[in-house]
A = this chain, B = another copy of it.
Amino acid sequence: MKIGFIGLGVMGKSIASNLMKAGYSLNIYTRTKSKAAELTAKGAVWMNTAGQVAAASDVIISMVGYPKDVEEVYFGENGIVDHAQEGSVLIDMTTSSPLLAQKIYEQAKARNISALDAPVSGGDVGAREARLSIMAGGDPEAFERVKPVFETMGKNIVLQGEAGAGQYTKMCNQIAIAANMIGVCEAVAYAQKAGLDPGTVLKSIGSGAAGSWSLSNLAPRMIAGDFAPGFYVKHFIKDMTIALDTAQKMGMMTPGLELAKTLYEKLAADGAEDDGTQALFKLFV
């Protein structure tokens, strides 16, 4: 089975490496060719467009940046959908719009091509260590066919429903994080302003009802003044924008998400868009 891989950012490169380690042959394309050097040195085959990768592969995986990049690689000139072979499976692992995932699914289906949306959580470390959580949407048959591929990159692999369900699930993930980040920042800032030692406060509150991944993993970085990414502020804003757009289309109120998006946009406007998400703390001190 030949796998095409499009998009070799931090996440994509780790996932592609794990596929090669598992013995898969890779055809690769990414916007910045220099990012492919490490993989071509190991035997991956460089191609000049996403369409060429698609034409030469049985399973085509994309992991790019923004929904507009997904649009481009799937539907642009030399795009995946026009060039993929009948019977192939497309997998978009970018965190992107559920509606765009449904569009890819429909257009691919019209050409007898399967498509799955399969965004992940777990970050750069999870990608490197093949411990990603993979949330998929699409047809069960396609999901089962590529499950061995997913198993080279993640541990918690769940088909959440029809096309778009993976993206909707990832939005649930980002929505839960969004409001919680505000609470974590406020708790740490309150501790400091009250004259407490925030590290000692974490000993009391970290493992009970206030406990969260963000409190355990990001609060210590806030306290240490370490704002390196991790997960970029600019990417989190992208995700919250998709979440808010889709929530509004569903007619639901999301005051916590709206507040988080507003605060993160202020943070980015202050010049922190390339910081990690824990940099939100800067607004509170």
- Taking Cβ atoms with an 8 Å cutoff, the residues of A that contact B are 98, 121-123, 126, 133, 135, 156, 158, 160-161, 164-165, 168-169, 171-180, 182-191, 193-197, 200-201, 203-205, 207-215, 217, 231, 243, 246-247, 250-257, 259, 263, 283-284
Contact = CB atoms under 8 A, between A and B. Distances in A.
A169 B204 contact: yes
Report whether over half of chain A's contact residues are helix, strand or loop; otherwise say mixed.
Answer: helix
Contact of A176 (B126, B165, B187, B243): B187
Contacts of A217: 209
A48 to B, nearest CB: 36
A204 B160 contact: yes
Given A168-B191, A196-B168, A200-B158, A123 B179 contact: no
A10 B284 CA distance: 36
B183 A176 contact: yes
B165 A196 contact: yes
Nearest to A243: B190
Contacts of A193: 247, 250-252
A208 B133 contact: yes
A231 B210 CA distance: 13
B184 A201 contact: no
A204 to B, nearest CB: 4
A212 B176 contact: yes
A243 B211 CA distance: 18
A273 B154 CA distance: 43
Nearest to A257: B186
Contacts of A165: 194-196
